[in-house]
Amino acid sequence: MIRVGINGFGRIGRALTRIISSKRKFKIVLINDIDQDIKNLSYLLKYDSIYGKFLGNVSSNKSVIKINNNKVKLSSKMKINEVPWSQNKVDIVIDSSGTSNNVTLAKKVLKQKVKKIIITHSPKKNIDYTMILGVNEKDYNHNDHKIISSSICDASAIAPVLKQIDQKWGIESGFITTLHSRLSYQNLLDGTLRSISSPGHNWKDYSLGRNSMASLIPKKTTAVDAVIRTLPNLQNKLSGMSFRVPTAIVCGSDLSIKLKSSIKLNEVRKHFQKIAKQNKKIFEYQTEALVSIDHLKTTKSSIIDANYIDVVNANLLKMVIWYDNEWGSSSRVVDILDFISKKK
């Protein structure tokens, strides 16, 4: 059994805990979070306004959260390298804190006899490999890659689709617009926006500090850079932007791709229908008239909306994809955990 430690018990940390707790192969033995109120952490795991009540038993005492029959120790260290991973015989640490400082300190964790660290966002440096399943897992080197980024939710959804398009028809250029649900660090009323990834700093993008429930908020996106880290052949071919939208969960991406070859609409539809059947974990091809919330708790990376596939002038491809930015992304992190644990 693989012994897992989780650093950061926010939205992603709790989603990971729910998913991993249903897997017999893995055992969560230690959770670290700066919140020292164990009763509150237990409460937040048990009750969730989006995903509902935890399907199992959750209780807590002074230093332990009991999840079903598993007693998980709690720690509240600020720095990832100060957490007693080795004392608890943790094999793999998942860092879901989202802070850049913990990425910098990750190498020190490896000195504690931890075998691997999975980072649940897409840092530009201090990692060995960025892995998106359905894109580049075949190039993973088990001996050399110790600190692995699972990328970000948007890239995990977009990159597998772009890889399929590029392999089949070739991408000349493209523009990506992500429609991203509001995040917990955004304001309910206008004000200064504090950075989560770099504590002590404020966002310079002032519009992001506006009331997140009153407007669509345009912003720059990190999704394109994250995609290119796993598809370097698309360097200088893509650009994009994002809108933060006043919804709680599930994101969408609008892809406008200029192709190197001419295609027909039906050709695109048939290709992605076929791919969705071949790789059911990554893709879903849906034809119903659905809205974002209908994709709540999907485990798929990319749900391709057949209603909004279009082709203009034979080489401009338009697609819309959906993804649960928490549950879907966390499902891929657990799949990466499973993938690397099978390597020797």
Q: What are phi and psi of 268, to 5 degrees?
A: -65, -45
214, with CB counted inside 10 A (0-12, 13-18, 19+), is exposed
What pLDDT is recorded for position 201?
79
What pLDDT is recorded for position 302?
98
What pLDDT is recorded for position 183?
93
What pLDDT is recorded for position 68?
95
pLDDT grade, residue 200 (50/70/90)? Answer: confident
What pLDDT is recorded for position 196?
72
Please pick, among 4, 29, 106, 153, the residue that the annotation labels catalytic.
153
Render pLDDT for 278-325 as a digit per residue (tens, 0 to 9).
999 999 999 999 999 999 999 999 999 999 999 999 999 999 999 999
**Catalytic residue list contains 251:** no
What pLDDT is recorded for position 256?
98
Classify 154-325 by CATH class: alpha beta
Averaged pLDDT, 186-195:
91
What pLDDT is recorded for position 161?
98
What pLDDT is recorded for position 66?
96
Name the superfamily (CATH) of residues 2-120. Answer: NAD(P)-binding Rossmann-like Domain (3.40.50.720)
Helix (H), strand (E) counts: the chain: 8, 17
What pLDDT is recorded for position 38?
95
What pLDDT is recorded for position 39?
95
Domain with CATH 3.30.360.10 in the chain: 154-325
What pLDDT is recorded for position 291?
98
270, with CB counted inside 10 A (0-12, 13-18, 19+), is exposed
Domain with CATH 3.40.50.720 in the chain: 2-120
